[in-house]
Amino acid sequence: MKALLSIKPEFIEKIFSGEKQVEFRKSCFKEDVQTVVVYATMPVGKIVGEFEIETILSDSPEELWEQTKAVAGISFAFFNEYFSGREVAYGIKIKRVRRYKKALNPYLEEPDFVAPQSFRYIRGENEQLVLT
């Protein structure tokens, strides 16, 4: 199964360059997701690529940082602020990335498209929509 994740453009560049090998989340999938389709938040507003999931880590923020800081692609200060007040933090370890040759404008492809706040599952015919 695939999931569509909203990610800020500056982090997407770090993911595609290999600098950021973990995508951090306050909540994570309840279903078995193997591939993440990447939606670049505004001002880009397009689906720009995808990545395969190696594994999903779940731990206290302190422990997760210790496990991932070498490949986090973000500062400790940003990480700490993002997970402030949280007991559990998630890290999606990125296995293989693929940037699409042509970014997909989901607003043209799917008239009622709403960018997910965090993520949404992609099922059925919608799964084919992002296989460009």
pLDDT, position 124? 67
pLDDT for position 44: 97
Which tens digit of pLDDT belongs to each residue from 74-130?
Answer: 999 999 999 999 999 999 999 999 999 999 999 998 889 999 998 999 986 555 554
Give 115: exposed, middle or buried? Use CB within 10 Å, 0-12, 13-18, 19+: middle
pLDDT band at 131 (very low <50, low <70, confident <90, very high): very low
Give the integer Cα–Cα distance in Å for 77 and 129: 37
- Cα separations (Å) of 37 from 18, 65, 97, 98, 119? 16, 24, 10, 10, 10
Higher pLDDT, 57 or 125: 57
For residue 109, what is the enclosing H or E element?
helix 106-109
What is the DSSP annotation of 24-72?
A: EESS--SS---EEEEEETTTT-EEEEEEEEEEEEEE-HHHHHHHHGGG-
- Per-residue confidence (pLDDT) for residue 111, from 0 to 100: 84
* Top-confidence residue, 111 or 52: 52
| Confidence (pLDDT) at 78 | 97
pLDDT digits 0-9 by tens, 34-51: 999 999 999 999 999 999
- Per the structure, how many domains does the chain have? 1
Tell me: pLDDT of 4 over 80.
yes
Res 125: pLDDT: 53
Please choose, from the candidates 69, 107, 71, 65, the residue with its C-alpha nearest in 3D space to the C-alpha of residue 90: 65
Give the domain range for residue 84: 2-129
Which CATH number belongs to the domain containing residue 50 in this structure?
2.30.130.30
